A and B are shown apart, each in its own frame.
Chain A
């Protein structure tokens, strides 16, 4: 919040109309623009709305029990404590759940990426009978209401003996992220000139060789976008994990977090500490890859 209060010094007001002040020359807004007061107030509000809950969560995680239950609330704890983190890290199942989440997220992301790479290449480079139908089928996967398939999926997993196993959740998460991954990668592959493929094939490369030596290296941003999307989705998913993983050997972090708060008694300090532990890795991954991710996502949407 404070970093953005001075983001637009008064002298910029005059420069706002000026092309030299624009961060991006292609942006249209260096012509007529929203007035500076609007921009300043808008940015402050936006940043406050987006960050405040995150900040309050972090702050609550380093308060003592007494400080948590004080009115008026304490804006900065007198003696920040790591007690809540200690409780979460050493006296609960959270580390185990963290490991489970990593295994399941990495597994599902890797598998979804493999399948999506081949399927997208097939869709981007070949014409075959029934292709629109198959593409529609892939998209329907995105449209299905979760609630409508959760029961039969549970029954299916039970028949396959995959309830309460890593593989069960990996399979389920893979199909959740597969449709959008195929969608994003197909538009990326289409943007790569087909002449490159043809030249490589004349030089004796196989189709799969072309895919791995030419298409994939040229679509790194698309791959990154798919990986981030799959990983974030899988890491954050709650409902399927709640249904398909009731044993603590496979439970994921979101389930662990929900377990801290029971109906009658919630250890808010521990919950907030666990929330921070769960959010930090994903936020760091996302923010470091953000540019590539947003590019991949919106390319798929605006061209598709």
Chain B
């Protein structure tokens, strides 16, 4: 019994399952995208049909808006939370547990709860803003084309900033004490420590987390789908929702597959350039 073959036997079951339910579907998407519903080869016809749709470019820009907007605030709020929770103070462990709650609340529950809170007439948010006179009239947060995306992004930020906080906090706690001691000898204050020790040291964590957030952002449908289904007037239609709707509402699997292929290609490109940009950066940072 050689070590070599024993290792294979251990990983084989997991690989078979992943191949069956990931590799095969991915290959199958490619096939679906160039055939029609009777499995006849149709070349790039599905791609052309999808690209002609006016919703496609709009969904593309909405996706960038959604992912970019979410990530900026998730990382900022998450990092700030991590720095706060890295302090010693009584009751810290309670605050830490509470800070994880948004992450564990199911997306669909977060979506419906916030939909109720942002309700135009009876929502608590409009009341809290009209009562002290912050706004004159209740706003139709989820029905107004200008406010709906920022509100959805805010919900997404609320849902995921605890994840960033947990990861960055772990990074902060692995910073060697000597670095702080050296900084103190040099007379650094707290904010200088944040800038010159904490942020540079948690940089690798931030990179890994941001990458995960990009992927999750490109993946996430639940919050938007549950609240607006992409409306009003396609203003929150992101590409994953467009794929979903073409496939399961219009029952055009082949067109949905064509859009999936394009989406997949763009997603890989974004991830690739992101990794490349970051791989180039650490040298200058240190």
Contacts and interface: CB of A to CB of B under 8 A. Distances in A.
Contacts of A54: 101, 105, 113
Interface string A152-168: 11111000000000000
A126 B4 contact: yes
A38 to B, nearest CB: 8
Contacts of A298: 166-167, 169-170
A32 B189 contact: yes
A53 B158 contact: yes
A151 B260 contact: yes
Contact of B89 (A16, A115, A268): A16
Contact of A151 (B86, B190, B257): B257
A129 B3 CA distance: 11
Contacts of B203: none
Interface in B107-161: 107-110, 112-117, 119, 121-122, 124, 127, 131, 158
Interface in A283-304: 283, 286-287, 290, 294, 297-298, 301-302
B25 A279 contact: no
Contacts, number: 327
Given A271-B112, A298-B167, A12 B89 contact: yes
B66 interface: no
Interface in B203-251: 205, 208, 215, 218-219, 221-222, 225-226, 239-241, 243-244, 247-248
B277 interface: no
B15 A275 contact: no
B95 A128 contact: no
B158 A261 contact: no
Interface stretch (B68-76, B176-184, B278-286): B176-184
Given A8-B91, A144-B26, A150-B247, A119 B13 contact: yes
Contacts of A143: 215, 271
Contacts of A254: 106-108, 222
B17 interface: yes
A49 B158 contact: yes
B76 to A, nearest CB: 14
B29 interface: yes
Interface residues of B, number: 106
B158 A23 contact: no
Interface secondary structure of B, over-half rule = helix
B253 A175 contact: no
B97 interface: yes
B98 interface: yes
A68 B117 CA distance: 11
Nearest to A268: B116
Interface residues of A, number: 110
B28 interface: yes
Given A47-B95, A128-B4, A131-B7, A283 B108 contact: no
Contacts of A22: 88
Contacts of A93: none
A68 B110 CA distance: 18
Given A128-B8, A150-B243, A236-B108, A156 B215 contact: no
A239 B109 contact: no
Contacts of B273: none
B112 A275 contact: yes
Interface string B1-20: 00111111111011101100
B93 interface: yes
Question: Closest 9 CB pairs between A and B?
Answer: A126-B7, A122-B10, A147-B240, A298-B170, A152-B25, A22-B88, A119-B14, A236-B106, A7-B91
Given A32-B188, A54-B101, A151-B253, 10 more contacts: A4-B95, A68-B122, A127-B3, A137-B15, A145-B240, A147-B221, A148-B264, A151-B257, A282-B106, A283-B104
7 contacts: A7-B89, A35-B190, A147-B218, A154-B247, A272-B113, A283-B104, A290-B100
